[in-house]
Structures are given as structure tokens and as C-alpha cells.
Structure 1
């Protein structure tokens, strides 16, 4: 059985799907409805998410979508650290810092974060694995060769994740504290690599190659076999909007829940979401169906 610990939360085979509530601090987030600013509003939203079933709160200050703006390390620290400190003091669940920078991760751990969610899979900052190991944090590592989401076939995703796990081994970061993410999403590096054809609609489907590759990841999730539990971030993303012809992320809840249920059926152990309560419901029904045939 594949099992890991994200701080005190056990993730893996034979366990209920872990729900991770996502809070964004950056105004350039692809989903404006997820952005929270101001100490009291951040605390209020974190408490709401926990009440709705989130077992971990993940906070990020640097958006990574196709239209996101760059954020300096200094600015990321200025935005993220007070939020982590406030939430860690007010909720009784682990807090995760969504960052690719070792200095930010180090400051986040000192402020109360016990999980580092690195969408570069330890590839953006060579000090990241060392910092995570030194601070005793758990980690969520996304598939990347060098940049977030710059892989898209199942074999590439598997190789990128295994490469990240090898970095963990070299730096003494226990794999028992690591969960992997297959990089669902239309990441800038993926779109750049695919070139102009990525936005072209497939003739028989009505949505783009980029969206099709995302859905292939969910369809073939069991084939990733990266030795660690799998966390998937699907919530309200562009590919769901393409299928449903819904450009506004605020309208994509139901499509997100359908994708979340399929992810659980196909082997996801954790779901990162903007909508904990609804996602808990979808996950529990999907688990019941999965267990009925298992």
C-alpha cells in the first residue's frame, strides 16, 4: 500500500480522499473568486474551509497560470508569511505553503507551515529539497522537468516525478512525507512547448489539444505509478471551462466535481480545491463506487 503523511494527515491507499483547501493571495490568480486579502478575511476563509471538510489549507502568493504576473521573492514573502502565520495560529489543521522558492519555504516553515507545495517538483530552486528536509516539512511535488507543467505525456510525467523523488533521496527528504501531483492544467511551459497547435480545437471534440492532454492525465492516472500518493488540482481550471464553454471560472463548479469524482475513481488520494464541501461530497460518493467494485 502507498501511504504518506502530510504533517498529521495520512494520505494514500485505503484512506478517505484528503481535501486540501486552496487560498490565493495574488490578484493574478486565474480564479478571482479564490483570492483573499486582509488578515481577518484570510482567517475567516480558512475557518470556513475547515468547517466544510478541508483537512489542509494551502496558501499561495504567486499565481502560475498562463496570464499570471511575476512576483519577486521579497514580495512573495511579504504577502505569504503573515497569511501563514495568521492561519496557522487560528485553525487546527496543517498549513501548506505554495511556493517554488527555498527562501520563501524556509520563512513559511518558521511561520507555521508544515507542508511545502512546490509546483516545480524541486527543480526551480536547488536549495528547496534541503530546506524541506531541514525544516521537517512534508511536501507535495508536481511533475516538471524544469518548469511547472512542462511535461504532458504519462511517461514524461512519471519520469519527472521519479526524478523529483531521486532529489528527495539525495537530500535526505523522507519519501514517507511526500505526495506527488501529475500537473493537470494548462501550464505556460506546457503551452509554450506545444506551440500554436495547443489552442487549436480538435475537430471531433470541440476543445483544444491542451484540454485533451489534461483529460488524458485523469483517464490514465493509474499508469503514473510514481511510488507515492497522488494529489490532483482540478478545481475550476481552463480545460473544464473549454469542455463546457464556460470562460468564467466561477461557473465551473459542477464540471470540477465531475472531474474530481473521476480522479478519485482512477486513483487520486488527495484533491486540492477551492470548494471543500462540494468536493468532499463528490469524493465520498466516488469512493463508495470504487470500493463497491474493488
Structure 2
């Protein structure tokens, strides 16, 4: 599939699927909670993610796992701001993962260059105007409600059509509030108010999102649907979150092949290699197609070796 090119304010064009490395500074995230609470260690990890091939480091201070409770804004600010500043000062492209306008504004002031809002602007009515003022790219993820109740909201007749339609409504809302359409990145929200079959259906139809005309961010990392796919054949126990990275990398490269602008992952190194392989194959296919067109043939014939 031919890759669409997008111009996003303040961001480079990587000419391939970008890799967003996850840096959770939370005690309760589902696979790495508590690991990077110390700001110094978190900054070191952010720099390590960049060294391993992350194009973007996504810093979040509030867990959005199913059932998670919200934290006070002051606590979220205290967690994320030192961790945004450190990598940003070293030239790392940082995004802020938050549903709060005040956190987004403070993080952008401290060097974040993307706002990644899992609620797509719905959790905080001030978010869209804050993003509009900042001018930075804004991730609008499909969202039906807060984490504590999301599993009860996974009710679809046609998940691909309904999720896309709801994201369009969210896009329209933030644009009406002043966000430039050129700032918008869309995300189908794998695992958020989705059942296992819903996630697979969305992944199988990512190319349909090209019709929205906006870059697509996909976040499959260590998600429940992968753990269930890889469940122990005897006990039926889902594979643990930290043992889903190979499946995550496979999912990420399939997303890249369907035109995803970026994939969001915990373990960067394997995914960074995988998307570069996909980009190389895409490039060679394009070159071969050009050669075929110039030679007036759509297929090269091979003669038997004597």
C-alpha cells in the first residue's frame, strides 16, 4: 500500500511508520507501574528509549488501564514535568499523555511537542482550546468513558464503522473549538471500551482509516487481546503483559504495512527494527514498480537456468 505523507506542525517526516516509546511515571499502569516513578530513572529511561530507536517518547502520569482511578492534577503535574523536561532538553521529541488541559499546557511549556489525549478532548472541556493555542499536534483517540467503566461500554454492531464515525465526531468537536485540522492525529483506541474481537476487527481494517485523511496512531502494546491470543494451551491463562513484546512488534509492523503513521509501544528496540524492515520492503516494491512501468511490463519473466 502506498504510504500517505502528512505535514504535522513541528514534527519531521520520517518517511516510515514512527515509533512512540511509552514512559509511564505511574504506580499502577498495567505492565510497568511503579518502575519509573523516580524522576532521575525516568529521564534515563526516556533517553534510553530514544537511543533504542524511539522517534517520540510519550510521558504519562496517570494510568488509563481498565478500572483505574484518576489522580489529582497536582500529583500528575509533579510526576510528569521533570520527566518531560529532561529528555526534551537533550533533543528528544516528547509527547505528553494526559486528559487534562492544565497538564498539557505545562508540559508543552516545558518542551513537549505533542499532546496525546486518550479521551480525544472529551474528558476536559478546556483541552481543545489549550491545544489550539499551543499549535502542537493533538492525538484524538476514540473514547467512550473513563477507565473505571470502560469495559461496560464495549457494545458495537459494527465496530469499525462505529469507532470511525465516533472519532469523526470527536475531530469535529475539537476543530469547532479552534484546533487546526492539520494538528489532528487519530487513534482507534485499541483496548479502550473494546472487547478482544473488537480489537482484532479494528486491526484488520486499519487501511479504512485513510479515508479520514489524518495520520493514524496505533497502540497495541502488551494489550489484553494479545495476552489472550497467546494464552497457555493447557491452563488457558493469558500470557503476562511483559511477555507480549514479540506479539506487539508483529502487530506494529502489520499496522505499519496498513499505513499507520506511528505505533506506540513499551519495548522499542524490536519494533523500531520491524518498522524499518517494513519501510525497506515498501521502498523496494515502489522501485520495482517504477522499473516495471518504465520497461512497459508489469511482471519480469524469468527464464530457466540452463
Q: Fold conserved (TM > 0.5)? A: yes
When normalised by structure 1's length, the TM-score is 0.84
- Whether 1:241 aligns to 2:227 is yes
Give SS of 1:116's match.
strand
Identify the match of residue 265 of structure 2 among 258, 273, 281.
273
2:32 aligned partner: 32
- Kept in 2: contact 1:6–1:115 (CA 8 A): no
Query: 1:23-76 deviations in whole A, cap 9, x for unaligned?
Result: 001111011278412222112111111111111110001111114332122211
The within-5 A match list for 1:88-237 is 88-89=88-89, 91-147=90-146, 153-185=159-191, 187=192, 190=193, 210-224=195-209, 225-237=211-223
Output the aligned Cα RMSD. Answer: 2.2
Could you tell me how far apart the structure 2 residues matched to 1:132 and 1:48 are?
A: 28
2:17 aligned partner: 17
- Kept in 1: contact 2:256–2:275 (CA 8 A): yes
Change (3 A) 1:177 1:4: farther
Could you tell me how far apart the structure 2 residues matched to 1:159 and 1:4 are?
A: 24
Q: CA deviation at 1:135?
A: 1.8
When normalised by structure 2's length, the TM-score is 0.81
Q: CA deviation at 1:270?
A: 0.4
Give SS of 1:3's match.
coil
Q: Give the length in aligned residue pairs.
A: 269
Query: Where does structure 1 lack aligned partners over 5 or more consecutive residues?
Result: 192-209
Larger Rg: 2
**Quick check: 36-45 or 150-159, which moved more?**
150-159
Change (3 A) 1:34 1:278: farther
Could you tell me how far apart the structure 1 residues matched to 2:178 and 2:115 are?
A: 16
Query: 1:197-225 deviations in whole A, cap 9, x for unaligned?
Result: xxxxxxxxxxxxx2121111110111133
